[in-house]
Amino acid sequence: MPELPEVETIARGLNRRLSGDTIDSVWIGSRPQPLKSSPSAIASTLEDRRIVRVHRAGKHIVFDLEPGNGQRKPSRRAARNAQWIVHLGMTGRMVVTDPATEIARHTHLIAKLGSGRELRFIDPRMFGKLSVHPAGFDPGGVEPLEVGERQFVALFRGRKTPIKSALLNQKLLRGVGNIYADEALFRAGIRPRRRAAAITREQFRKLHQSVQEVLREAIALGGSSINDYVDADGEAGFFQLQHRVYGREGEPCLVCRTAIKRAVLAGRSSHYCPKCQR
């Protein structure tokens, strides 16, 4: 479901609402799929912790935790600061809610907060992942909004893989997903199937710029709401109104009126203008 702009929006919302709050206790559901750490590790790491800050790393939501109030002298396990890592997969959601709110289907974790509220993780398809980690979690790859042009080019130069596959590779660039890869490639005038090795320096310059531009604009609009994506406050995003190719198969290109094409590349729908993109 969410790519970098959506995760950024959600993390900002969670940070605004949760930083300073504490996690008093945790309920974990019986489905093991979303758990990358053991239930006991998750519970012991989260319980009696203070949420210092919530932020984003690639498509991961990162909760920075420190020992909570109850521990004047931190014991072994609580001694160090820790991180709670949440990946939303395709359908994961994090909601902050009143305990009286009915528990939605596919709720896999509920954290009871010191403020009296609850933080719930809901994920129907269970592609999402929860884990706990000592401070210093590193998802690999570089942040698309921080990478400079030189390093950006170096990531891709010489690779035989289609440029879109490379853009989606989280070990290279972290956070770009299907929608924003298509949108960035359109703005740069490059076809998704183009081999990275066949892209000129000038086109890479354009692509670097396009990736950052698309992500920044999307964050400014709160992300793209295609089906039911909403941020931590239940607000939809609006970047879907700015999509130039994604989801527009058969519709006219906004630049040249040619019908937008859809092709499957590496199992993902890829949308492009056959005339504007070469």
Partner DNA sequence: AATGAAACCTGACAGC
Partner DNA sequence: TGCTGTCAGGTTTCAT
Active-site residue list: 2-3, 59, 268
Does 277 bind DNA (CB under 7 A)? Our answer is no
Q: According to CB under 7 A, which one of 125, 150, 216, 257 is a site residue for DNA?
A: 125
Letter for the amino acid at 89?
G
CA distance 142 to 238: 26
CA distance 272 to 278: 10
Does 268 bind DNA (CB under 7 A)? Our answer is yes
Does 266 bind DNA (CB under 7 A)? Our answer is yes
* Binding residues for DNA, total number by CB under 7 A: 41
* Residue ranges in 171-190 that form contacts with DNA under rule CB under 7 A: 177-179
> ∠ at Cα 3 (58, 246), nearest 5°?
145
Smaller CB distance to DNA: residue 89 or 144? 89
CA distance 247 to 240: 9
CA distance 16 to 191: 39
Does 163 bind DNA (CB under 7 A)? Our answer is no
- Contact region with DNA (CB under 7 A), list: 12-20, 39-47, 69-77, 221-229: 221-229
Tokens of residue 199, six digits: 């892209």
| Sequence-ordered list of residues with C-beta below 8 angstroms from that of 212, at least 6 positions apart, any chain | 144, 145
Give the interface with DNA as residue ranges (CB under 7 A). 1-3, 6, 33, 58-59, 87, 89-91, 105-106, 124-127, 159-162, 165, 168, 170, 177-179, 223-229, 237, 264-269
